[in-house]
Structure 1
Amino acid sequence: MQAARPPPSGGSPSAASSDTAAATADSSGASGSAEPEWGPPPPPLGRRHSNKRFTGLKLFGRRKAIAKSSLQHMVAQPSPALAMRSDSERQIRSTVDWSEAAVYGEHIWFETNVSGDFCYVGEQNCMAKLLQKPLSRRKCAACKIVVHTPCIEQLEKINFRCKPSFRESGSRNIREPIVVRHHWVHRRRQEGKCRQCGKGFQQKFAFHSKEIVAISCSWCKQAYHSKVSCFMLQHIEEPCSLGAHAAVVVPPTWILRVRRPQNPLKSSKKKKRTSFKRKSSKKGAEEGRWKPFVIKPMPAPLMKPLLVFVNPKSGGNQGAKIIQSFMWYLNPRQVFDLSQGGPKEALELYRKVHNLRILACGGDGTVGWILSILDHLRINPPPPVAILPLGTGNDLARTLNWGGGYTDEPLSKILSHVEDGNIVQLDRWNLHVEPNPDTNPEEKDEAAADKLPLDVFNNYFSLGFDARVTLEFHESREANPEKFNSRFRNKMFYAGTAFSDFLTGSSKDLAKHVRLVCDGIDLTSKIQDLKPQCLVFLNIPRYCAGTMPWGNPGEHHDFEPQRHDDGCIEVIGFTMTSLAALQVGGHGERLCQCRQVVLTTSKAIPMQVDGEPCKLAASCIHISLRNQANMLQKTKRRNSMPLLNDQQPVPERLRIRVSRISMRDYEALNYDKEKLKEASVPLGIIVVPGDSDLELCRTQIEKLQEEGDGAKPKTVSFQKLSPKWCFLDSTTADRFYRIDRAQEHLNYVTEISQDELYVLDPELVVTQTVSTSPAMPDLVDSSATPPGHHFAFPSCSSSPPSSPAPSAEPEHCLPLKDDLLIEAAKSGNFSKFQELHQAGRDLMVRDSSGQTVLHHAVKSGSKDIVKYIIENAPSEILDATEEENGETSLHQAAALRQRTICHYIVEAGASLMKTDLQGDTPKHRAEKANDPDLAAYLENRQHYQMIQREDQETAV
């Protein structure tokens, strides 16, 4: 059997790459016959497209030995002048091109600071090597190759292209099958195991190696060793399955580019006409109907094609990173940035796709926007919508089991949940507003609006106290936008406004100006007796970032449990007392469940519709059911479905060991699963049914803790789990992931563990060494453990910057003492500090307690010195810990509530998951310092940092 030969070591990946989209048949025929990416070649577009067919590995298979052959003249030679060309001349794209001029196989570039010295074009063609200076880098979102910005032209010259996202239209035999070919790319780093031999892609000094260790497909993610015994020639032309998420991927064969209709030659001669009106209007209509791309889906009853809409402004700009990640897993033409024109055009384009599903990445407002466009387009049946919650609030996402916010769950698992999700209905309600005819026109408030900001709501409609606070915030932000450019200030303003409104009692007379009729029953007298300061018309069980104001009626036979698909709306009144109790599990005053509401107000009152506030003039508001939207609810699922002929029965009972991991170990060793397992400490063994979910496992673990209360608490093993512990998913190939506690009922124990169940304890107190003995708690005794059996965290390891930072620093790695520099940092004398450093003093100096100059600069509060250290010292100083408490400089800045300094250190790249010896992260230190706004900022940046770390698998 023939096999592909491995590329030369240190050679150019571009010249040896196995990317099917990377090479094209040269007019000289040196590459042999060219095969397209799928099926027979598309028809040529004049001469333009005839040279752009994709040849698989054939050309690269011949180029890999170019250095030893007579074909060296075929390799594009770099020119220094190319580096001087501007980005605008290269037209580097960072978004998908939907115009008629879209380039076949075009990369989608974004800026990156990914580690590694090697550019994908290889040393022979690399402009950075040629110019001998550092250059900016860019990474392709769809195939994850990394090149220097000036080297992008070198990719174009050797015709290395991205995985194609569409095909050309044209006449072809309809009986010919259209298949997708693999898109092979060389990798210097690769997770997982070779599909041929089953061995891992392990290598020494992987981050500094020039060796190409793997060949992987950007579509299906299959990977092989880059050697003759693993990667066979037959893989080049075989059809691609599109991988684990094939059911939701839109194949590029479905997306056709069509050319603008041309007039026949015989009609080119103009004829005289007396009127041009009719013909010009017809031409204009044709022009308006024509689109450069059309979707022609193939019959596939088992497929559930997915459209992803991402709001990049949601969740502290998490969205921008998520767009890039989804382009890797899916076809880039099924991922849409809502800031580039909204969802309407995409939904129109895909409206005829059978079994279409939608994933809305953003807040509840983003979901409402998409549902409104679906209403407008009248797509039948309407595609169901799943939610990836970004930002805060997300009450609809919580209701449908998607959680209150995105943490660090792999996007691959989210795609699986979207594929497996159950379709449920969501009631949607009309709001019809008419002026109140009984009010005196002279008493009208000029600042009041005549209509609500939205005429439909999905979550809730409210008036009174909560709407007043939201309205004041919006009005102040519109008047002074420069004062509301920080989450700190926004939250402080909300808190201050709410407190002021509470003291003044500005909503206490709400009952005097409201008349309420529900299903024909007048409830006005009940309102006046209750004297609520807030009225809420609730469609879903969740409100105000996860609270449940309807509660569980239980013994109250007058009311039913709340549902989002029963055609009923819940009416709830809140006094200030019940609003306060809401945050600790209380509920409001249940007024009724009804299908029609008539609400009449006699003066202007603040109101809000799904978070959009306004002050509405005296009005008569009719609330009625509009329709039901299809939504996707996250459900329990199995990791992998066994083949029908090889089904494995679920065992009746599972005996499984539970081990705990500290936050310190989790952030330091997250991408080294084996070391993280070694650093875990056994807690005990639980016995549960084979089909148990994590909720049941939690109860068993807590019982295990109660039974161990009498044990000696000398070691980590005997410390009781803190209230904030959570489960870890240990089954993914690259790292461990946390499971949201609110979603434990959706995960089976067999889905997240194999032979051991791991839990993360963020408040676990550890010393600088942690026992790694696999013994059970009754056998663990730290005093008896020999010194050689402890796992220590080195500080000056050779791990790359993209790896999680180490946790502790042995003294030999950093210089120990330089009193003058430390004293300048302590006193905050910036000019003296700068002078000493320029005279040759080392910024990595430590004092006798292990504190760096950055620790001392933080304590002195000198922003100038902190900024200077960050700009001039090695990045290791950001996560350096002192010896007494294991605190980084960020821990100390958070404890001292130094917001600006925290911002400097975080933006420089300090780890936000690092814990001190008390198990506290910087966020916890801010909470203990009674600075909730700083804690919220640190938590937000921690989530963003986790998303960035997911993008580690193919750094080049």
Structure 2
Amino acid sequence: YCIFQKTGPRKKCIACKIVAHTACIGLLEQKNLRCKPSFREAGVRNYREQTFMRHHWVHRRRQEGKCKQCSKSFQQRFAFQSKDIIAISCSWCKAAHHNKTTCFMMQQIEEQCTLGIHAGIIIPPSWIIKLPKKGSFKSSIRASKKRKASLKKRRSRDDAKPFIIKPIPSPLLKPLLVFINPKSGGNQGAKLMHKFCWLLNPRQVFDLAQGGPRFGLELYKKVPNLRILACGGDGTVGWILSTIDSLNISPPPPVAVVPIGTGNDLGRTLNWGGGYTDEPISKILCNVEEGQVVQLDRWNLVVESTISTGGDVIEPEDGLVDALPLNVFNNYFSLGADAHVALEFHESREANPEKFNSRFRNKMFYAGAGGRDLLKRSWKGFADHIKLVCDGVDLTQKIQDMKIHCLLILNIPRYASGTLPWGNPNAVGFEPQRHDDGFLEIVGFTYSSLATLYVGGHGERLMQCREVKLTTYKSMPMQVDGEPCKLRPSCIKICFRNQANMVMKPKRRGSMPIANDPPSVPERLRIQVSRISMTDYETLHYDKDKLRDASIPLGIIVVENNADLEQVRSQIDKIQESLKNGQHNSDNQELSPKWCFLDSTTAERFFRIDKAQEHLHYITDISSEDLYILDPDLVTVSRSSTFLKVENGHSSPTNNNNTENYQPDQEKENGNLYFLLIDAAKRGDIRKVMEVYHHGGQLLAADQYGMTALHHSARFGHKNIVSFLIANAPPVILDMVDHEKGQTALHKAAWYQRRTICHMLVDAGASLTRTDYQGNTPRQQALKAEDKELAAYLENQEHFQLVSSEDQETAV
């Protein structure tokens, strides 16, 4: 579509991934090359008719997966400026075909689209009808004055509604609304917005920063079997549930969670995990569709101001409020030491929001503020200024005797990023906690019990009750579902409100037995465990074969085929204990405490399994032959010749087939080849580089500073060696970074003003947006080197790469 220009700003559609110059967008309409339809027009004839749903075929210059017709993979064009169309795929069902007549015929253009694997949750465009403008439809029946007045009122209400929904009910459909909070946690919302709009109808995905959830809920409130997916923290979920209450939607739609907040305690309770990492969105959508609907108790908070008693003198303070930030809570309500830390965090984030842009930083602030408050013991006399009555029983004297510093009223088992303050009680009079039993758990904390909470401890259990009356005699910090404030002396009454419908993440269905099948006898599986470093995972996780080759064997475990990942973790820990105790001579590095499982079978790439969700996955769900784990602290070195086997709790050494025929002379020769390659790249000796390559030298080899031959040849301006390495080395060499500065070969070439080499690297597909340890891109390196022409070229290419790095497509 770039008839008039070949450069300039470009835009990419998040719904169908078509890329066009900003100035050329108008040409798409003229050529009838439109985006995939997300609604239908309300014409006179088709206002009540169901339209025919066709495929939306798009030319693709890059395509993952295999051809639907011939089942062969798509050949990728790695040249950056390649214009070849290799595939034709549908933006709705994601079916892809090779761009040749044997795989794609013209008759397929008019075929009906099935909407793909997510057809059960996608809202089809035929349901969403765009309302006509005033005066588009005229009735031949003359209206009376009263009818005219009622029509005017109705039109005034409908003016703000550009669409209406005309659903076709079906028990097989569970239409989904997605609400994304872009400000939650680590600011992951923008990336999720693009992914959901690509997989679903963009009209069913809403940005909560644009007016909140009310518009979407009100538009779709009459759709049967509706489900909601809340992408955000616990506060986002509470916001949506309160809006559902205010709109009186009956029955209330069940809500699932993608936890991208800081604490995510409700997400943990419903098995959605403590934070979103890199789980495929398609898998999340399947879990939302299949998940079981459960109930969540919700509680009212009624605040009444009181006059200070007991001789306390109220001094004027800044920041005091007369009401709580929320009048309903789903997770917990607390006051005292923990609320003081939450209030300090909230005030700091409001003052400097740019410093709190990641979940890890937020938790580090909480840890630091909590440690300072622990040392100061600023809430030592907390229990002397409150009165607590639960179901008519006065507990004031009990909490004063305990000398608690914090009071927690809990509705769900999880609190403060996954801790269990109620624990697992065995004492008489206390029941295990549930989120749907109509009871609140009252827990008190001293500073010592708060400190042990994060290592498996619990608070002082006080009572399980249905109503709470709490009176405070001095202003003190409080928090409701993580929203803090400092409240004046008040009387707070807590009572049951209603139950909300929630979606609990299911266990993997592939491993569940079929109802009519006879009970199977558990079989024992012998599985090799291999670990992968974080560097290899980030570089190769889209290429399963290369990632398998980069894995390092750790040992062999023998488990039952119906074992979940929590049981498998205990077996792997036994391998680690054997290594720590030195029972076997092994050069294997110790496992990091932060290691996690990798799913190597479900999706087209590897992805991490959250530790909080390990009980939901079976061993056979995530591994077919070998079991892979991610070790973030692993340093990739030469592989050990022995590894361990664990069977029935006992470990034994096993030889590694890859190093069975180990020869010291061969390792010495490989070391010499590595040295010769780096030295030849520095000196510009192309003959020596080719000779080393033909003798089996690894072109990806790096020196002690992490610099490859491509780094050195780009730095010293050896164009012939750069060209040879681009042609013969794996493409991953383009984005390998050194240890000292975290720079790629393109960074080096830009700093030393090697313009031709920059062109060569960009044409080969080197990343223009990767930043070094100082946050500089190659363009910024060129600016620092005062080469404005090179910087302008890199800026132009950088903008193009941003909008077309994932796909380069045009409409059919």
Q: TM-score, normalised by structure 1?
A: 0.67
**Alpha-carbon distance in structure 2 between the residues aligned to 1:416 and 1:179:** 26
- Structure 1 window deviating more from structure 2 (450-459 vs 692-701): it is 692-701
Q: Is the 8 A contact 1:326 1:411 kept in 2?
A: yes
1:460 to 332, 349, 371: 332
Any stretches of 5+ residues in structure 2 without a counterpart?
644-652, 682-688, 690-698, 718-735, 762-769, 782-800
Corresponding residue for residue 233 of structure 1:
106
Q: Is the 8 A contact 1:433 1:619 kept in 2?
A: yes
**Alpha-carbon distance in structure 1 between the residues aligned to 2:741 and 2:272:** 43
Question: Residue 590 in 1 paired to residue 461 in 2?
Answer: yes
- Superposed displacement of residue 643, structure 1: 12
**Alpha-carbon distance in structure 1 between the residues aligned to 2:363 and 2:286:** 35
- Superposed displacement of residue 889, structure 1: 10
- Superposed displacement of residue 474, structure 1: 3.8
- Superposed displacement of residue 287, structure 1: 1.6
Q: Which amino acid aligns with 2:237?
A: V
CA spacing shift, 1:522–1:776, aligned 2, 3 Å:
same
Q: Which amino acid aligns with 1:470?
A: A
CA spacing shift, 1:171–1:532, aligned 2, 3 Å:
same
Percent identical among aligned pairs is 58
Q: Which amino acid aligns with 1:546?
A: G
Summarize the alignment of residues 823-834 of structure 1 with structure 2, pairs less than 5 Å apart.
Answer: none
2:323 to 438, 451, 455: 451
2:546 to 650, 654, 675: 675
Q: Is the 8 A contact 1:661 1:679 kept in 2?
A: yes
**Alpha-carbon distance in structure 1 between the residues aligned to 2:437 and 2:780:** 51
Corresponding residue for residue 791 of structure 2:
none
Question: Residue 405 in 1 paired to residue 405 in 2?
Answer: no
1:425 to 279, 284, 295: 295
- Deviations, residues 772-806 of structure 1 (Å, cap 9, x unaligned): 99x97443438816569999999999xxxxxxx97
Corresponding residue for residue 662 of structure 1:
533
CA spacing shift, 1:265–1:491, aligned 2, 3 Å:
closer
Q: Is the 8 A contact 1:362 1:388 kept in 2?
A: yes
Corresponding residue for residue 828 of structure 1:
none
Corresponding residue for residue 746 of structure 1:
616
- Deviations, residues 792-849 of structure 1 (Å, cap 9, x unaligned): 999999xxxxxxx978466542347999x9xxxxxxxxxxxxxxxxxxxxxxxxxxxx
Corresponding residue for residue 212 of structure 1:
85
**Alpha-carbon distance in structure 1 between the residues aligned to 2:556 and 2:171:** 45
Q: Which amino acid aligns with 2:807?
A: T
Question: Residue 287 in 1 paired to residue 156 in 2?
Answer: yes
Q: Is the 8 A contact 1:658 1:757 kept in 2?
A: yes
Q: Is the 8 A contact 1:260 1:292 kept in 2?
A: no
- Structure 1 window deviating more from structure 2 (636-645 vs 564-573): it is 636-645
CA spacing shift, 1:951–1:816, aligned 2, 3 Å:
closer
- Superposed displacement of residue 252, structure 1: 1.0
Q: Which amino acid aligns with 2:659?
A: D
- Superposed displacement of residue 186, structure 1: 1.1
Q: Is the 8 A contact 2:528 2:556 kept in 1?
A: yes
Q: Is the 8 A contact 1:681 1:771 kept in 2?
A: no
CA spacing shift, 1:160–1:682, aligned 2, 3 Å:
same
**Alpha-carbon distance in structure 2 between the residues aligned to 1:907 and 1:611:** 42
Corresponding residue for residue 109 of structure 1:
none
1:161 to 13, 28, 34: 34
- Superposed displacement of residue 706, structure 1: 5.7
**Alpha-carbon distance in structure 2 between the residues aligned to 1:871 and 1:314:** 41
**Alpha-carbon distance in structure 1 between the residues aligned to 2:352 and 2:523:** 61
2:66 to 193, 218, 227: 193
Corresponding residue for residue 396 of structure 2:
524
Summarize the alignment of residues 628-707 of structure 1 with structure 2, pairs less than 5 Å apart.
Answer: 628-638=499-509, 652-703=523-574
Secondary structure in structure 2 of the residue aligned to 1:231: coil
Corresponding residue for residue 324 of structure 1:
194
Any stretches of 5+ residues in structure 1 without a counterpart?
1-120, 798-804, 822-851, 860-864, 879-887, 894-900, 910-947
Number of residue pairs the alignment of both structures matches = 718
Q: Which amino acid aligns with 1:156?
A: E
Secondary structure in structure 1 of the residue aligned to 2:624: coil
Q: For CA contacts below 8 A with separation 6 or more, give which structure has more relative contact order.
A: 2
- Superposed displacement of residue 689, structure 1: 3.1
CA spacing shift, 1:141–1:768, aligned 2, 3 Å:
farther
Corresponding residue for residue 390 of structure 1:
260
Question: Residue 779 in 1 paired to residue 650 in 2?
Answer: no
- Deviations, residues 878-908 of structure 1 (Å, cap 9, x unaligned): 9xxxxxxxxx996xx6xxxxxxx4x557998
- Superposed displacement of residue 497, structure 1: 4.9
**Alpha-carbon distance in structure 1 between the residues aligned to 2:178 and 2:207:** 9
- Superposed displacement of residue 382, structure 1: 0.5
Corresponding residue for residue 833 of structure 1:
none
1:415 to 258, 282, 285: 285
Corresponding residue for residue 737 of structure 1:
607
**Alpha-carbon distance in structure 1 between the residues aligned to 2:771 and 2:640:** 23
- Superposed displacement of residue 278, structure 1: 10
Secondary structure in structure 2 of the residue aligned to 1:615: strand
- Superposed displacement of residue 686, structure 1: 3.5
**Alpha-carbon distance in structure 2 between the residues aligned to 1:647 and 1:332:** 45
**Alpha-carbon distance in structure 2 between the residues aligned to 1:560 and 1:641:** 30
CA spacing shift, 1:524–1:222, aligned 2, 3 Å:
same
**Alpha-carbon distance in structure 1 between the residues aligned to 2:137 and 2:64:** 55
CA spacing shift, 1:180–1:908, aligned 2, 3 Å:
farther
- Deviations, residues 157-209 of structure 1 (Å, cap 9, x unaligned): 32211110011224558997644211111112111111111111125646554
Q: Is the 8 A contact 1:429 1:458 kept in 2?
A: yes
- Superposed displacement of residue 592, structure 1: 0.7
- Superposed displacement of residue 361, structure 1: 0.5
Question: Residue 954 in 1 paired to residue 807 in 2?
Answer: yes
**Alpha-carbon distance in structure 2 between the residues aligned to 1:205 and 1:393:** 42
Summarize the alignment of residues 843-862 of structure 1 with structure 2, pairs less than 5 Å apart.
Answer: none
CA spacing shift, 1:402–1:155, aligned 2, 3 Å:
same
- Deviations, residues 476-514 of structure 1 (Å, cap 9, x unaligned): 665x55896777997787566545544443322211111
**Alpha-carbon distance in structure 1 between the residues aligned to 2:353 and 2:282:** 39
Corresponding residue for residue 794 of structure 2:
none
CA spacing shift, 1:524–1:423, aligned 2, 3 Å:
same
- Superposed displacement of residue 268, structure 1: 13
2:496 to 616, 619, 625: 625
Corresponding residue for residue 534 of structure 1:
406
Q: Which amino acid aligns with 1:137?
A: R
- Superposed displacement of residue 604, structure 1: 1.8
- Superposed displacement of residue 226, structure 1: 1.1
CA spacing shift, 1:196–1:539, aligned 2, 3 Å:
same
**Alpha-carbon distance in structure 1 between the residues aligned to 2:802 and 2:624:** 24
Corresponding residue for residue 423 of structure 2:
551
Q: Is the 8 A contact 1:694 1:749 kept in 2?
A: yes
CA spacing shift, 1:703–1:626, aligned 2, 3 Å:
same
CA spacing shift, 1:518–1:257, aligned 2, 3 Å:
same
Q: Is the 8 A contact 1:305 1:357 kept in 2?
A: yes
Q: Which amino acid aligns with 2:228?
A: I
Q: Is the 8 A contact 1:659 1:758 kept in 2?
A: yes
Secondary structure in structure 1 of the residue aligned to 2:530: strand
**Alpha-carbon distance in structure 2 between the residues aligned to 1:647 and 1:198:** 35
Secondary structure in structure 2 of the residue aligned to 1:355: coil
Q: Which amino acid aligns with 1:223?
A: A
Question: Residue 184 in 1 paired to residue 57 in 2?
Answer: yes
Q: Which amino acid aligns with 2:218?
A: E
CA spacing shift, 1:357–1:270, aligned 2, 3 Å:
closer
Q: Is the 8 A contact 1:179 1:239 kept in 2?
A: yes
- Superposed displacement of residue 570, structure 1: 0.7
Secondary structure in structure 2 of the residue aligned to 1:556: coil
**Alpha-carbon distance in structure 2 between the residues aligned to 1:950 and 1:637:** 36
- Superposed displacement of residue 556, structure 1: 1.1
Q: Is the 8 A contact 1:684 1:777 kept in 2?
A: no
- Superposed displacement of residue 750, structure 1: 2.6
Summarize the alignment of residues 594-613 of structure 1 with structure 2, pairs less than 5 Å apart.
Answer: 594-613=465-484
CA spacing shift, 1:648–1:169, aligned 2, 3 Å:
farther
CA spacing shift, 1:603–1:813, aligned 2, 3 Å:
closer
**Alpha-carbon distance in structure 1 between the residues aligned to 2:194 and 2:19:** 14
Q: TM-score, normalised by structure 2?
A: 0.78
Secondary structure in structure 2 of the residue aligned to 1:373: helix
Corresponding residue for residue 363 of structure 1:
233
Secondary structure in structure 2 of the residue aligned to 1:583: helix
